[in-house]
Structure formats: structure tokens, C-alpha cells
Amino acid sequence: MTSFSAKIAETRAKARPVVFVVYPDIVLLDLVGPLQVFSHAPDPQTKTNGYGCAVVSLNGGMVTTNTVVSIPSEPVSQYLDAEIHTLVVVGGDGANTAMHDTHVLDMVNALAERAQRVCSVCSGALVLAAAGLLNGRRAVTHWDDCATLEAGFPEVKVEIDPIYIKDGNVWTSAGITAGIDMALAVVAEDLGRRSALRVARSMVTHMARAGGQSQFSPVLRRQLLDSTGRFEDLHHWVAENLCRDLRVEELAAKMNMSARNFARLYTGQMGLTPAKAVEAIRIEVAQTLLETGEKTVKQIAVQCGFNDEERMRRAFMRTLNVSPTDYRRGFRAD
């Protein structure tokens, strides 16, 4: 195993040491998702990896996760004098115990004092809050833990919807995969958007989820609302037939229902009209094509059933508050 002094030398050479804090019963992806991002983010100046990563716990050794895999860690004592660029506290069911462990909180505070940036993934925000690091700040965590965070720490300005929030030098992220989005945003801030996009592309993940976006994707929202799957086949069919005249009568016929009965049942269950649902699906497909395709905005508008650029522009502005052209400029993985 590489010696601690060698690791510190390597980390300092890379200029941006990232320290992950773990404790028993973490969520494995809370750690390895952001760890993968930071471990492979290219620095355009040095042409090498932009970060040096370490995983630490109170006493070092193997730390359990919520899977069959345990992960190795180094004792925090080896990092109490180290310069830290980014500190990341991961989450998991163990956060409910860690947030009441004074040794863990002392560890986090000691490392935070040496860090330029402090982050949490998922329920790691509970640990940051218990350590007093979120007082007076906006913060988010997994939607299932937001109520706990809000009730236990009234000085924290909890927001339920965003996938991540940056407040000063403190970043918090929502559940599990949102930690990857946050890590990519950190890389973009440090090394530039091109470096973050290269990592996102290598991980086959999207770079389009800005922090203000909802924890719930439109697809997931539909699945949650349509818990019985009654409209699932219809939604797939709409996505594959966007060039059709998708009026309520055609959707109703696809469901073997009258237009009036279909519109009433769909709106009651899904919380929006069939017309709005079709527009939302058209926007989702257009977003993907703008991010990854080579077609012009006009061609995409036609392919997605908007028929002309202006109609698609109005739909984007109404839903995303950004034009298709600006969306492509900001999120295209070039």
C-alpha cells in the first residue's frame, strides 16, 4: 500500500486534495459515485488528474456499507494537518448514528477547518448540520430525510426539491446519484466545463442536471403518479410518435376510451392535462437531442412534433426558462 507521506506528496502535486469522510453503514454509491468523478477529472493545465482522493474514518480500516462490499479507509489522524481542497461527507443509514456521535462530529469539524470547500452527499447533510456547518445556510438532502433535517436543525434553510445546492463554500446534494451531479458541478467550477463534460461522457451520464432541477425527473414523476402502470404504454407510444397529431382524441383511442372519460381520468391521476403531458415528453426528447445530437434546432423541433422553432422555443421558455439554443450551448457535451 502506498505510504501516507507518498500519498500526501502525490495529492499536493495534484493541487486539489479531496477527502471523503465515511462511517459504518454508508450508501456505497454516495461514496463511489463522486469518488469516480474526482478520480478521473482531467486538469487542462497540467494534463493530469485534477484531484487526489482519500477516504478517511475515525480509526481507519474497513468500513461497512449498505451492500455486501466494505471499503478500506485511512485513520483521520493522518489528515488533521493536511491541506484539504474539498471535504465530502457521504450519507447512508449510518448518518442517523453518526450525527449523534461527538467523535464523528469533532472529526468533521476538524477537517472542515482545513478545507476550502465542504460537501455532503444525501443524508451526509445530517452530519454537517449536527456539526453546525449548515447553520444559516440553504441545504438539501435526500427527499426522505428533508423533514428530519428541517425538524432537527431549525437554523438550516432546508429546500426539498433541488438536486444540489451551493451556499458559499458549502455544497449539499440530494439522494445518491445527485452526488455525481454535484461532483461534476464542482469539477466544472474548478477545472472548467469541458473537463466535467469529459468525465460525464466517460461515465455515460448526463451533464444537464443543474442544481436547481428537481430531485424527481419528469419520467420518475410520471412513474410515481402512475403507480399501477395504467398509462405506461401510452407514454412510451407518445415518445415514439411525436410527429403525430397527438390530440386527446387519438390518445383516448389508444386507450380504448372516450375522449371525455380519458381526459378526466388522466388529469385526475397524473395531475396535468393530456396536452401538457405530450408537451412535456416532447421537451424531454428535444433536450436529449440538443445535448447529444448533431441536428439543427429546426430539425429537432420538427422531429419532436413542435413543427417550428418558435413553438419549441416558447415551450422551453415556459417549462425550463431557457431557449433551445441556450440550452444546447450550456449542456451540449462537446
Q: With 50 as the cut, is the pLDDT of residue 128 above it?
A: yes
To the nearest 10°, report the CA torsion of 295, 185, 126, 162. -40
Beta strands in the chain (DSSP E): 17-21, 52-57, 61-63, 71-75, 84-89, 115-120, 138-139, 157-158, 164-167, 170-173
When pLDDT is cut at 50, 70 and 90, the band that residue 331 belongs to is low
Q: What average pLDDT score do residues 9-20 get?
A: 71
The reported pLDDT for the residue numbered 7 is: 55
146 part of the active site: no
Q: What is the mean pLDDT of residues 118-128?
A: 97
Q: Which residue has the higher pLDDT, 99 or 3?
A: 99
Which of the four pLDDT bands, split at 50, 70 and 90, describes residue 5?
A: very low
Considering only CA atoms, which of 277, 302, 290, 280 is closest in space to residue 327?
Answer: 290
Confidence of residue 242 (pLDDT cuts 50, 70, 90): very high
Highest mean pLDDT among 15-19, 148-152, 315-319: 148-152
pLDDT score of 206: 56
Q: What is the pLDDT of residue 2?
A: 53
SS3 57: strand
- 183-209 pLDDT, tens digit per residue, is 999 998 999 888 888 888 777 665 545
- Beta-carbon contacts of 252 under 8 Å, excluding residues fewer than 6 positions away, are 258, 259, 261, 262, 263
Active-site residue identified among 53, 119, 122, 304: 122
Report, as an integer, the average pLDDT of 140-156. 93
State residue 262's pLDDT score: 95
Quote the pTM value. 0.68
- 38-79 confidence digits (pLDDT tens): 999 989 888 888 999 999 999 999 999 999 999 999 999 999
Q: How confident is the model at residue 253 (pLDDT cuts 50, 70, 90)?
A: very high
**Alpha-carbon distance 155 to 162, whole Å?**
19
Q: pLDDT confidence of 141, banded at 50, 70, 90? A: very high
Average pLDDT, the chain: 88
Residue that wins the pLDDT comparison between 5 and 76:
76
At 60 the pLDDT is 96
Percentage of the chain with pLDDT > 90?
Answer: 66
pLDDT of amino acid 212: 47
- Answer whether residue 97 shows pLDDT above 90: yes
Q: Tens digits of per-residue pLDDT, 266-306?
A: 999 998 999 999 999 999 899 888 877 789 999 999 999 99
- Residue-wise over 89-116: b if at least 16 C-beta within 10 A, else e? bbbbebbeebbeeeebbebbeebbebbe
pLDDT value of residue 200:
80
Residue 50 CA to residue 174 CA, distance in Å, equals 25
